[in-house]
Amino acid sequence: MVLGVIRNRKDSKRRVPVHIFDAGIGYRIEAWVVGERISEVEVSKHADNGDLWIIVEHGQVGAGEAFVSAQAWNARYQHYKRSMIAAA
């Protein structure tokens, strides 16, 4: 699932699709404004085919987010889906 850069016709702000997986909540996609929510440097550093992929980890001190590759994100998400099916 590659969406690339999103531009809103109402403004010229560049948005980047962010795929977020949190085992406690599930999967969601957000459009982050470059220069507001995330810097251009961070997008260049972490983007995989134009999108950002984040996994939220829950630990004893709270939740933390990590940028990962699309491949790592998909592997984690598929594992989660299989475990949910097995638990049902």
Per-residue pLDDT reduced to its tens digit, 17-74: 999 999 888 899 999 999 999 999 999 999 999 999 999 988 777 788 999 999 999 9
Taking the C-alpha atoms of 76, 72, 63 and 31 in order, what is their torsion angle to the nearest 10 degrees? -110
User: Can you read off the two tokens belonging to residue 86?
Assistant: 């097995």
Residues 6+ apart with CB under 8 A from 83: none
Residues 6+ apart with CB under 8 A from 6: 15, 16, 17, 31
Per-residue pLDDT reduced to its tens digit, 36-46: 999 999 999 99
Q: Where are the domains of the chain?
A: 13-87
